[in-house]
Structure 1
Amino acid sequence: MNAGGPATAEDLASWIRHAADLVSADVDRLTRLDAAIGDGDHGHNLDRGFRAAVDALPGGDAPPGKVLVSAGLAILSKTGGASGPLYGTALRRAGKALGDAADVDAAALGAALRAALDAVQDLGKAAEGDKTMIDALAPAVAAYETALADGSGLAACVRAAADAASEGAEATVPMQARKGRASYLGPRSVGHMDPGASSTALILRALADVTEEG
Structure 2
Amino acid sequence: MKTQHIIEAVEAVQAAILANESQIESLDRAIGDGDHFINVRRGCEVLMGLRGEIAPLPPGEAFGKIGMKLLSTIGGASGPLISSFFIAMGKSLAGIAEPDRVQFAAAFAAGVEAIKSRGKADLGEKTMLDVLIPVSRLLQRLAEQGAPLPALCGQLAAEAHRNMLATRDMTATKGRASFLGERAIGHIDPGSKTCEVAIAAVCDTLKEPA
- Is 1:135 the counterpart of 2:126 in the alignment? no
Establish whether residue 36 from structure 1 lines up as the match of residue 33 from structure 2: no
Shift of 1:100: 2.8
Question: Is the counterpart of residue 52 in structure 1 residue 42 in structure 2?
Answer: no
Q: TM-score normalized by structure 2?
A: 0.92
In structure 2, what is the equivalent of residue 4 of structure 1? Answer: none
Matching residue of 2:13 = 19
Q: RMSD between aligned alpha carbons?
A: 1.7
Task: Determine what percentage of the aligned residue pairs are the same residue.
Answer: 34
- Report the CA distance between 1:158 and its aligned residue: 4.0
Indicate which of 186, 194, 198 corresponds to 1:191.
Answer: 186
SS of residue in 2 equivalent to 1:67: helix
Q: CA deviation at 1:81?
A: 0.8
- Residues in 1 aligned to 2:150 and 2:35: alpha-carbon distance in whole angstroms: 32
- Over residues 37-89 of structure 1, what are the superposed CA-to-partner deviations in whole Å (9 max), with x where a residue is unaligned? 01111111100011102212324531011222222222222212111111111
Measure, in 2, the Cα distance between the counterparts of 1:208 and 1:21. Answer: 14
Distance 1:72 1:8 in 2: 17
Unaligned runs of 5+ in 2: none
Bigger shift: residues 34-43 or 66-75: 66-75
Q: Normalising by the residue count of structure 1, what TM-score does the alignment of the two structures yield?
A: 0.91
Question: 1:169 matched to which residue of 2?
Answer: 164
Instruction: State the alpha-carbon separation in 2 of the partners of residues 69 and 170 from structure 1.
Output: 31
* 1:1-214 correspondence runs (5 A): 7-57=1-51, 58-154=53-149, 156-212=151-207
Q: Residues 165, 213 of structure 1: CA spacing in aligned structure 2 closer, same or farther, 3 A cutoff?
A: same
Q: Distance in 1 between matches of 2:88 and 2:127?
A: 19
